[in-house]
Structure 1
Amino acid sequence: MKLNMEDRMLQVVVYTALALLSFVTFYPVWNTLVISLNEGSDTALGGLTFWPRAFTMENYQVVFKNDQFFQSLWISVARAVSGTFISILFTALLAYSLSKSELMGRKFYMMLAVITMFFSGGLIPTYLWLRELHMFDNFWVLIIPGMVNVWNMIVFRTFFRGLPDGIEESAKVDGCGNYGIFFRIVMPLSGPILATLSLFTAVTLWNEWFNASIYINNQQLIPIQTYLINVINSSSFQEQMAQITGASGAMNAFRSTVTSKSLQMTTIMVATLPIVIVYPFVQRFFVQGVMVGSLKE
């Protein structure tokens, strides 16, 4: 179709705006990568923009020498995998039950669930509750308190209500029970919404750092994002380097080039990379999965 002058001008404006938006979004990530690949002492001079002036891998060598980094990375991976599975399972089960009109008190349960989206018990009551449950310094304190997400439940519920009734009726005629219908029929048909909400949940669990900083004192149980916050908030560069290189000073040769900022940027890049790698594999489910939540009953 031939475009007139107004349409062409509109396209120029739209593409220019999108290009600027993409640049503003991508540049901070790129600059973080550049700083992580540049000598810290050179970065301190300023003016580092698009390319490393003094390329080095020393920043990454220092980070990878720290056993605490890999321990925190393992905790985050275990939390993201197990937490996503548990959250999606229990959220889907709740949504499936609330999608059935024959469930007694369905509207009341739904109202209770929605209320929790707007009001919570607060930090202090939650702290006291988890303390009474003896969940402090426990891996499961990172998963169990948030294992049901109400927003995800509403999206699941909307999707389940859109499935043809004839599918479940045929399964019941063949002798399939409620759990059989859910696990053998409903869940396999929910691929796009499962992939979308699983990614949202995994990203949330991967990026969440606050709960660990409040409920966990054991450094062997802190996730990577909490470790990253500790690195960024360290009171001095010497404290960071002492923690990472160890008291023996086995990597003293790096101290002249590795700085606090280069260490922080490198840790950010390494902590962000795993979840970024996952995105391309589930991106094709986004459009269909996200559109489900936009439908009204």
Structure 2
Amino acid sequence: MVRLSFGDRVMVIMIYIFLVFLAFVTFYPFWNAAVISFNEGADTSLGGVTFWPREFTLENYKIVFNDDRIINGFYVSIMRTIIGTISSIITTAIFAYGMTKRELIGRKYYMIMCIVTMYFSGGLIPSFLLIRALGLMDSFWVFIIPSLVSVWNMIIFRTFFRGLPAGLEESAKIDGCGNWGVFFRIVLPLSGPVIATLSLFTAVNHWNDWFYPSIYINDENLMPIQTMLKQILNTNIVSDQIGNLDSAAQGQLQKMQTVTSKSLSMATMMVATVPIIMVYPFVQKYFVKGVLVGSLKE
């Protein structure tokens, strides 16, 4: 066992202190939001609710789960995440596999065009006009079709595919496999780590996106949970009503009000956040292997 010098031990202690501080700063906002979601709204408005609920209640969550709009938004988010992730990963992987073929005519030209789109976009107004022209307004497919191909994911896939032994593909073709057979029977099964990693990143993007639906969706039945959460956070009706009353009336109303817009917002945020967080432990082991192997081998 290597013995550390005094200076090294001081440095290790400082590193651990910094990491603990960083973990606390990162985790505390989420923990405080969870605490507020389990605390009575009137008591929360008095302040001082930090690490533990002072007046424990489940009323916030009862209101959330009794709201059909939130349940429907939750369902829309789940369907969007599942369908969007699967379709995007498959489409992007097929594109990347084609880009690995040296016999592909114009391969460098296609690659340059793809990279340009990573740095420059058409802008919000041209995108809106394009989506409207395609008839995707107020359609579930507006969540799926525009995000079918990710250039960044394609580059990672392509680099990973180049690192696979060429003999595998040659052997498969000798046995009678075509390009589709090689891709689905050989390449994809060997790409588990990079698929798991990029699938998680894609799923998180789909799940957390609130801006896209706020532009292209007007039908409440197609609103995902994140967009509804944004609307709830922007709507402080109860707080505005309290602010328009005198101090005596405010105190009386706060005593009567067990659920406020803030406590309800925190409960909705927990409902919208916890499901995607629960996915991380199942794919965490693929992070380093998937991303590093897919991005460093060239």
TM-score by length of 1: 0.93
The aligned counterpart of 1:125 is 126
Deviation readout 1:89-148 (Å, 9 max, x if unpaired): 110011000011121111000111111101111111111111111111100001111110
The aligned counterpart of 1:285 is 286
Shift of 1:239: 10
1:232 equivalenced with 2:208 (yes/no): no
Shift of 1:237: 2.7
Distance 1:257 1:284 in 2: 43
Distance 2:259 2:161 in 1: 54
Shift of 1:236: 1.4
Counterparts of 1:97-136 in structure 2 under 5 Å?
Answer: 97-136=98-137
One-letter amino acid matched to 2:163: G
Query: Structure 2: which 5+ runs fail to align?
Result: 242-254
Distance 1:154 1:255 in 2: 57
The aligned counterpart of 2:273 is 272
Counterparts of 1:169-248 in structure 2 under 5 Å?
Answer: 169-234=170-235, 236-237=237-238
The aligned counterpart of 1:48 is 49
Distance 2:130 2:256 in 1: 45
Distance 1:65 1:239 in 2: 24
The aligned counterpart of 1:24 is 25
Distance 2:288 2:161 in 1: 17
Shift of 1:198: 0.2
Distance 1:178 1:108 in 2: 22
Aligned-residue sequence identity (percent) comes to 60
Deviation readout 1:24-63 (Å, 9 max, x if unpaired): 0000000000000100100000111111111111111111
Aligned alpha-carbon RMSD (Å): 1.5
Deviation readout 1:241-280 (Å, 9 max, x if unpaired): xxxxxxxxxxxxx972001110111100110011011111
Q: 3-state SS of the aligned residue for 1:294?
A: helix
The aligned counterpart of 1:153 is 154
One-letter amino acid matched to 1:193: V
One-letter amino acid matched to 1:8: R
TM-score by length of 2: 0.93
One-letter amino acid matched to 1:60: Y
Deviation readout 1:173-201 (Å, 9 max, x if unpaired): 11100000000000000000000000000
The aligned counterpart of 2:65 is 64
Shift of 1:82: 0.3
The aligned counterpart of 2:139 is 138
Instruction: Judge conservation of contact 2:89–2:198 (CA < 8 Å) in 1.
Output: yes
The aligned counterpart of 1:259 is 260
Distance 2:157 2:287 in 1: 14
Distance verdict in 2 for CA 1:138–1:153, change over 3 Å: same
Distance 1:171 1:146 in 2: 32
Shift of 1:293: 3.9
Instruction: Judge conservation of contact 2:118–2:151 (CA < 8 Å) in 1.
Output: yes
The aligned counterpart of 1:243 is none
Instruction: Judge conservation of contact 2:138–2:217 (CA < 8 Å) in 1.
Output: yes
The worse-fitting range, judged by mean Cα deviation, of 170-179 and 229-238 is: 229-238
Q: 3-state SS of the aligned residue for 2:149?
A: coil
Distance 2:295 2:239 in 1: 51
Shift of 1:228: 0.4
Distance verdict in 2 for CA 1:66–1:132, change over 3 Å: same
The aligned counterpart of 1:36 is 37
Q: 3-state SS of the aligned residue for 2:279?
A: helix
Q: 3-state SS of the aligned residue for 2:138?
A: coil
Distance 1:239 1:58 in 2: 21
Query: Structure 1: which 5+ runs fail to align?
Result: 241-253
One-letter amino acid matched to 2:18: A
